[in-house]
Chains A and B, each alone.
Chain A
């Protein structure tokens, strides 16, 4: 099983990176390359959509956390959605979920994003 990567634009200069298949030591460089090509200072939010991801190893985790570090450095949002149980478990093992924006599904993430936009509007 290989890795499928689909990148789509989101509202307010966001990018959604949907990954499916197997994110491991052999496929992690493909995701790193896609992130390097697509995520830059002008991107306000990066959403990693794990819906189709079946397998995640430490090599894949490193790419995910590099993307998060980049977004944190740019003052952008980093969000993760649709983690399957075996994928969520890997994040739990390395105790990395605290302080991260993780949503069980699209509806929960939409609710969060709407609340964030409302806060921005209130501040304008």
Chain B
């Protein structure tokens, strides 16, 4: 597990933008989703992210992480998934990076959620899309890089 903190002031007089970045690297095992959940819970407490944003994003984290463990690697592999959290000026972004086979999760959502068989897969991507404002996938070299972003209203005491 790695962790880092980045702080930068862009304007000292009016609006100070502070980036708060942390990362965690986990092996591609589904059971590590709970470690990711605990990591995110600590992050949210540290930076006073609102409860409703926390509830939405912890579900996004679970869905994306499980998606990668399910599709990016052969089951026998023991590879890693790195998750970067960034919180700045009322916006949380989460980036998942893995070195598995090229896989764009955005291409694997169910077509029509209302008529879909909810006993089958494909709901996770629909949930991710519904709970975040932006989603972006890139294949960078040998890595899948999937980033989601959610905006929220900051309270005065944050």
Also in contact, A93 and B118, with CB within 8 A (given A24-B62, A26-B31): no
Point out the residue from B55, B58, B66, B113 that lies within 8 Å of A59, measured CB to CB. Answer: B66
Point out the residue from B33, B58, B127 that lies within 8 Å of A58, measured CB to CB. Answer: B127
Q: Does B124 contact A (CB under 8 A)?
A: yes
In whole angstroms, what is the CA distance A25 to B124 when docked? Answer: 11
Point out the residue from A26, A65, A86, A96 that lies within 8 Å of B55, measured CB to CB. Answer: A86
Count the A residues whose beta carbon is within 8 Å of the partner chain — how many?
Answer: 22
Point out the residue from A1, A66, A95 that lies within 8 Å of B114, measured CB to CB. Answer: A95
Asked whether, in the complex, the Cβ of A25 is within 8 Å of the Cβ of B118, the reply is: no
Also in contact, A25 and B33, with CB within 8 A (given A58-B124, A95-B113): yes
> Which residues from chain A contact B121 at a C-beta distance below 8 Å?
58, 62
Asked whether, in the complex, the Cβ of A25 is within 8 Å of the Cβ of B123, the reply is: no
CB distance from A21 to the nearest CB of B (A): 11
In whole angstroms, what is the CA distance A25 to B31 when docked? Answer: 8
Also in contact, A93 and B126, with CB within 8 A (given A25-B30, A55-B59): yes
Asked whether, in the complex, the Cβ of A94 is within 8 Å of the Cβ of B30, the reply is: no
Asked whether, in the complex, the Cβ of A62 is within 8 Å of the Cβ of B120, the reply is: yes
> Which residues from chain A contact B88 at a C-beta distance below 8 Å?
none
Asked whether, in the complex, the Cβ of B31 is within 8 Å of the Cβ of A94, the reply is: no
Asked whether, in the complex, the Cβ of B62 is within 8 Å of the Cβ of A25, the reply is: yes
Interface centre among B113, B116, B123, by most chain A C-beta atoms within 10 angstroms, is B123
CB distance from B135 to the nearest CB of A (A): 15
In whole angstroms, what is the CA distance A25 to B14 when docked? Answer: 45
Count the B residues whose beta carbon is within 8 Å of the partner chain — how many?
Answer: 24
Mark each residue of chain B from 130 to 155: 1 if its CB lies under 8 Å from any CB of chain A, else 0: 11000000000000000000000000
Q: Does B119 contact A (CB under 8 A)?
A: yes
Point out the residue from A58, A62, A86 that lies within 8 Å of B63, measured CB to CB. Answer: A58
Q: Does B34 contact A (CB under 8 A)?
A: yes
- Closest Cβ neighbor of A92 among chain B residues: B130
Asked whether, in the complex, the Cβ of B55 is within 8 Å of the Cβ of A62, the reply is: no
> Which residues from chain A contact B33 at a C-beta distance below 8 Å?
24-26
CB distance from B127 to the nearest CB of A (A): 6
In whole angstroms, what is the CA distance A69 to B123 when docked? Answer: 17
CB distance from B67 to the nearest CB of A (A): 9
- Closest Cβ neighbor of A66 among chain B residues: B119
In whole angstroms, what is the CA distance A89 to B59 when docked? Answer: 11
- Closest Cβ neighbor of B110 among chain A residues: A94
Asked whether, in the complex, the Cβ of A61 is within 8 Å of the Cβ of B34, the reply is: no
> Which residues from chain A contact B127 at a C-beta distance below 8 Å?
57-58, 90, 93-94
Point out the residue from B63, B117, B119, B126 that lies within 8 Å of A57, measured CB to CB. Answer: B63
* Leading 6 A-B pairs by shortest Cβ distance: A65-B118, A58-B123, A58-B124, A86-B55, A93-B130, A25-B66
